[in-house]
Amino acid sequence: MKKYIFIILLIILNGCATVNSVKTNYALIDYSDGIDKKEAVLIAKEHLINTKYRHRYQVIGPKVENLPLEGAWLVRFRGKKTSISEFYMPSIYEVKIDKRTGECRLEYTNNMTDIR
């Protein structure tokens, strides 16, 4: 029983540590020299954490795509599998980050329940 309680506490504390580390590293971003891939991921994570969708998507392990013609990074977060339908059509949350300014230019989710 103690083992299960320890595992649950570890999972809860790990989630808090992730949010705190994102917020700490986000504060250190230097916008004056443009936004690299690592910084784009931090900006997108900070953006996701501050939305109402933060509990539906995995902050850890996003996929990043370079969009050179648009001058942006596209960061994709996978949805947490909370229902049977999401095993067949996983939810995705996308944030497009401008490479020069770090501005979030686009936010998209394919989850029908998330449409505003």
Q: Where are the domains of the chain?
A: 2-114
Q: Are strands 92-98 and 72-78 parallel, antiparallel or unpaired?
A: antiparallel
Over residues 43-53, mean pLDDT: 88
2 vs 114, residue with greater confidence: 2
HSE (CB half, 13 Å, CA atoms) of 13? 6
pTM of the prediction?
Answer: 0.74
Segment holding 76, helix H or strand E: strand 72-78
| In the predicted structure, residue 103 carries a pLDDT above the cut 90 | yes
Residue 40 pLDDT > 60, yes or no? yes
* Tens digits of residue pLDDT in 73-100: 999 998 876 665 555 556 788 999 999 9
Q: How far is the C-alpha of 97 from the C-alpha of 41, rounded, in Å?
A: 9
